[in-house]
Amino acid sequence: MRTASAGTRAISALALAAVAGLLLYGFLATESEKTVGLILLAAVVAVAGGLRSGVLPRLVHAAGAGPVLGALGLSMLALIITFHDDPFVLLLMARALLVLVACLGLHVQLADAGVPNFAGAAFFGVGGYTAAVLGRSDLPHLLILLASGAVAAAVGSLLLLPLLRTRGHYAALITIAFGLLFRTFLEVNDTLGGPQGLKLGGLRILGWSFNDDRQLLGMDFSGYAFYCLAAVVLALFAVALVRRVERSWIGVALDAVRLDETAAACFGISIGRWKIAAFTLGNALIGVAGGLSAMMVGFIAPNNFTFQESLVLVSILLLGGLGNLAGLAVAALLVIWLPEKLQPIQEFRYLLFSVLVVLVLVLRPAGLVRRTARRPFGSVAW
Amino acid sequence: MVSGTAQLLVCRGLTRQFGGVVALSGLDLELRRGELLGLIGPNGSGKTTFFNVLTGLFPPTRGEIVFDGAPLAGARPQEIHRAGITRTFQRSRLCLDLSIFDNLAIGAHQRLDHRMVFNVLRRHDLAREADATAAAATELLEIFDPPLARRLFEPMTGVAMIDRRRVEICRALMSRPRLLLLDEPSAGMTGEETTRLMDDLLEVRRRFGDLTIVLIEHEMSVIQRVTERCVVLNYGKKLCEGTFAEVSADPEVRRAYLGLA
């Protein structure tokens, strides 16, 4: 690996983030489905052209992952400022980012360790309900968010025993059963609000209430802008964490467990230990995202955490290309935003959306972006 | 390694049944430190089952395994690997989606630091450990094929069959084992490729003087050339043992295995 100069790295990263930011801006700003189509087309052309010509990989490589992430964060910040008084767009952005964080959790489980989880929405819900219950106390809200992750991970540990004894479809079935069980449990549990659910107060950090609209720099910011910012920070943290885990000995061990349990065992790799680690870390990420999401929306009910929602999360993973973080991010944006953007065509929007998903998978059976080999994480050029 | 007796491994009455099938039947076998033992026998005679029982994939139905003075029968594959036994598989079990380096890092698993804090936060230390691992991997691959060592970070999918065998043996060697079990490493190779692979194996022995190797092999010329001693299995039992000359002169072996009257 040759290291480019700091200037080259910054310029490459900013160029990438600028293009991404412009495309996102166009997508979010437009009201007409024709423009949405044109922007999607432009995105496809830009990405395909960038890949074909080799410009895109070269830019990413020249910049390095850290600067690219930082620059993407900046372009999200720019978008938040641009849409500072548009709660609908801000909510849409924040939702997509939180779903992305949840999908990163699933990614660690399914794409890294090979542990399926069809109860993603349930663990998202565990995080949300934890935030709702703890929100009645005086605990600091950052602590409550951490607790959302911890409780989701702890509840997930109930599934460990059956999950370690099964694999593939059978393991998937266990998580499906858990998801259904969780929802029924919520519906009959009066302390958790039953079918009506619970209300939450908003996020409050160091006396700053995220729910209130505020004047900053002479602009009227909607409260959602601050939630969106929190979601950006959480998403950047989650991406960086997952990337580091993957580009380390932990990632190698998880790959070994996923690809060949027998060979892994013969080289001293404890199958159980790594499945537990991946499942727990994944659920913790999903739980934190669920906690923040519940605080932002201000209300949760069993109906938000159905099996269908879990399926949406898994389908984002498959659509993006199992094992590829860039693909995952694009798929999360598409799946969350597209149905909203296609609202003008009413009942046809889910039809069109489904056709698009099928088309993508027909044209790219491995998902939008393929899994790439792990890049060396040593310091020497090999 | 100078501890204990001359035997590295002692198996007594090792038996493995699959339902009514007795794949391994009361096998007594001893391995001397540093020797290269050939394990031969017709298909289904229990050679691979012996490896599978020894590495803990199937626990023995009866019998004992003593490795360097410690009982190992019934231990988990991970414990057995930690004790110093490692293997290759008859049908390559490399992770084809991963790079050569990743596969070799799997072999080095027990020597690497897997703590979360080390891997996620101490990236400089991690990079140094990765460099050291890559250096060790390169050194091993160079014994087999210097050009292969220069492709360390290429995916396994683009690697030729013979090189996959080499990587698989290197993966096993990455753990610095004391006992290496090679399950028919020459399967599917041309005669010339087999000769080259065995040259490499002899070179490995020269470099790792105290390494003990068991080699399952069908090619008699290979056995004759590289092993000091062989054991012949038939129907899960030991038919006889000795040098290749002794074994191949044994009338029972000729009848069971070589198809001669």
Q: Which residue of B has its CA nearest to A277?
A: B116
Measure B7 CA to nearest chain A CA, in Å.
Answer: 23
pLDDT, one tens digit per residue, over B108-138 is 999 999 999 999 999 999 999 999 999 999 9
A291 and A244 belong to one structural domain: yes
What single letter denotes the amino acid at residue A233? V
Domain boundary among A263, A286, A319: A319
Give the lowest-confidence range in A141-150, A260-269, B174-183, B236-245.
B236-245
A31 and A61 belong to one structural domain: yes
pLDDT, one tens digit per residue, over A45-60 is 888 888 888 888 888 8
- B contacts of A111 (beta carbons < 8 Å): none
Question: A256 and B95 in contact by Cβ < 8 A?
Answer: yes
Decide if A59 is inside a domain: yes
- The size of the A-B interface in CB pairs under 8 A is 115
Residue A100 banded pLDDT, cuts 50, 70, 90: very high
Tell me the DSSP string of A163-219: HHH--THHHHHHHHHHHHHHHHHHHH-TTTTGGG-EE-PPPEETTEETTS-EEETTE
Question: B123 and A265 in contact by Cβ < 8 A?
Answer: no
The predicted structure's pLDDT at residue A59: 86
Tokens of A193: 């609000």
Contact A265, A104 (CB under 8 A): no
A97 and A195 belong to one structural domain: yes
A191 and A233 belong to one structural domain: yes
Decide if A312 is inside a domain: yes
Residue B221 banded pLDDT, cuts 50, 70, 90: confident
Domain boundary among A46, A63, A82: A82
The predicted structure's pLDDT at residue A35: 86
Residue A369 banded pLDDT, cuts 50, 70, 90: confident
The predicted structure's pLDDT at residue A382: 46
ipTM comes to 0.92
Cα distance between residue A93 and residue B218, in whole Å: 64
Contact A4, A55 (CB under 8 A): no
Alpha helices in A247-347 (DSSP H): 249-259, 261-266, 271-297, 307-320, 325-341
In this prediction, residues B58-62 reach a mean pLDDT of: 94
Could you tell me which residues are beta bridge partners of residue B31? Answer: B9
Decide if A366 is inside a domain: no
Q: Taking the CA atoms of chain B, what radius of gyration do you get in angstroms? A: 19
Give the best residue of A252, A281, A377 to mutate against chain B (max B CB count within 10 A): A252
Measure A289 CA to nearest chain B CA, in Å.
Answer: 21
pLDDT, one tens digit per residue, over A315-368 is 999 989 899 999 999 999 988 888 888 776 667 767 777 887 788 888 888 888
A118 and A56 belong to one structural domain: no
Q: Taking the CA atoms of chain A, what radius of gyration do you get in angstroms? A: 21
Measure A77 CA to nearest chain B CA, in Å.
Answer: 26
A17 and A150 belong to one structural domain: no
Residue A203 has pLDDT above 80, yes or no: yes
B102 closest CB neighbour out of A245, A263, A374: A374
The whole domain housing A46 covers 1-82
A174 and A50 belong to one structural domain: no
The predicted structure's pLDDT at residue A346: 66
Angle of CA points B218, B220, B222, to nearest 5°: 90
Residue A162 Cα to chain centre, angstroms = 26
A271 and A129 belong to one structural domain: yes
Measure A382 CA to nearest chain B CA, in Å.
Answer: 8
Cα distance between residue A38 and residue A44, in whole Å: 10
The predicted structure's pLDDT at residue B1: 45
Q: What share of chain A is helix, strand, coil (3-state, %, to 5)?
A: 75, 5, 20
Contact A368, A51 (CB under 8 A): no
Decide if A210 is inside a domain: yes
Question: What percentage of chain A exceeds 70 in pLDDT?
Answer: 97
Instruction: List all residues of chain A from 219 to 248 with a beta carbon under 8 Å from chain B.
Output: 241, 244-245, 248
The predicted structure's pLDDT at residue A105: 97
Cα distance between residue B39 and residue B31, in whole Å: 11
For chain B, say whether A217 makes contact (Cβ under 8 Å): no
Tokens of B5: 């007796």
pLDDT, one tens digit per residue, over A257-298 is 999 999 999 999 999 999 999 999 999 999 999 999 999 999
Residue A34 Cα to chain centre, angstroms = 27
A185 and A309 belong to one structural domain: yes
In this prediction, residues A243-265 reach a mean pLDDT of: 96
What domain count does chain A have? 2
A177 and A257 belong to one structural domain: yes
Residue B261 has pLDDT above 50, yes or no: no
Decide if A135 is inside a domain: yes
The predicted structure's pLDDT at residue B247: 87
Contact B24, B14 (CB under 8 A): yes
A101 and A230 belong to one structural domain: yes
Residue A61 banded pLDDT, cuts 50, 70, 90: confident
Tokens of B72: 């190992």
Contact A123, A308 (CB under 8 A): no
Domain boundary among A319, A335, A357: A319
Decide if A329 is inside a domain: no
| Secondary structure of residue A327 in the 3-state scheme | helix
A77 and A94 belong to one structural domain: no
What CA dihedral angle connects A11, A13, A14 and A15, to 10 degrees? 80
Decide if A339 is inside a domain: no
Residue B260 has pLDDT above 60, yes or no: no
In this prediction, residues B62-66 reach a mean pLDDT of: 94
Decide if A251 is inside a domain: yes
